[in-house]
A and B are shown apart, each in its own frame.
Chain A
């Protein structure tokens, strides 16, 4: 079981460039989340997907889009990166039944710098 995996681990972009952060989980979880973590602030929810085929905005969705490609994969896209999007991005998943019910499992994070 790899748990939650994210790629890439590090990325440097120039302002205006686009990129997609990939996330996959192998725990058969229904719900998946994208968070950003900035110094001095708690993790903040960007987008989430309660189940395959659905996505919803979180607290800070502006400048991002998401795709729930299938039950395993949930990607985050920055169409035109801005310096304010410099952050560490975490993907997470949670189960809706059984032992993993409502527990959050986090990926290792992606450190993104936008110049």
Chain B
């Protein structure tokens, strides 16, 4: 079983819809990251959070440490939001901080 599970694996929606991507993890973490991978392959960090909620423009990320669950929401989705969204948890292993990644959610927003 993967330490980080994302759902859904693929998501297709119409422009304007509210999008939710989920991430569950099975280990104790020091933080959780949401990343975006563009169709061209580049990866950018969207959020890093260890509790509560963060908002950046139309993107909102929440985390529930007790339930080991995080969600990424996109409001008023747009075709330019089409990308792969990756959840990663930060672990401390033998004193070093490492990221463990989910498989990603491929989001397609149709105009």
Contacts and interface: CB of A to CB of B under 8 A. Distances in A.
B85 interface: no
B86 interface: yes
A40 B88 CA distance: 15
Contacts of B99: 33, 43, 45, 104
Interface in B59-111: 86, 88, 90, 96-104
Interface footprint category on B = 20 to 34
Nearest to B30: A102
Contact of A48 (B33, B35, B96, B104): B96
A48 B45 contact: no
A108 B88 CA distance: 18
Contact of A43 (B31, B90, B97, B101): B101
B57 interface: no
B98 A42 contact: no
Nearest to B48: A103
B43 A106 contact: yes
A90 interface: yes
A16 to B, nearest CB: 27
B42 interface: yes
Interface residues of A, number: 22
Contact of A40 (B35, B42, B48, B103): B103
B52 interface: no
A114 to B, nearest CB: 19
Nearest to A105: B45
A109 B96 contact: no
Interface string A36-68: 000011111100101000001010000000000
B44 interface: yes
B39 interface: no
Interface of B: 2, 4, 31, 33, 35, 41-45, 48, 86, 88, 90, 96-104
6 contacts: A42-B2, A103-B45, A105-B45, A106-B35, A106-B42, A106-B43
Interface of A: 31, 33, 40-45, 48, 50, 56, 58, 88, 90, 102-106, 108-109, 111
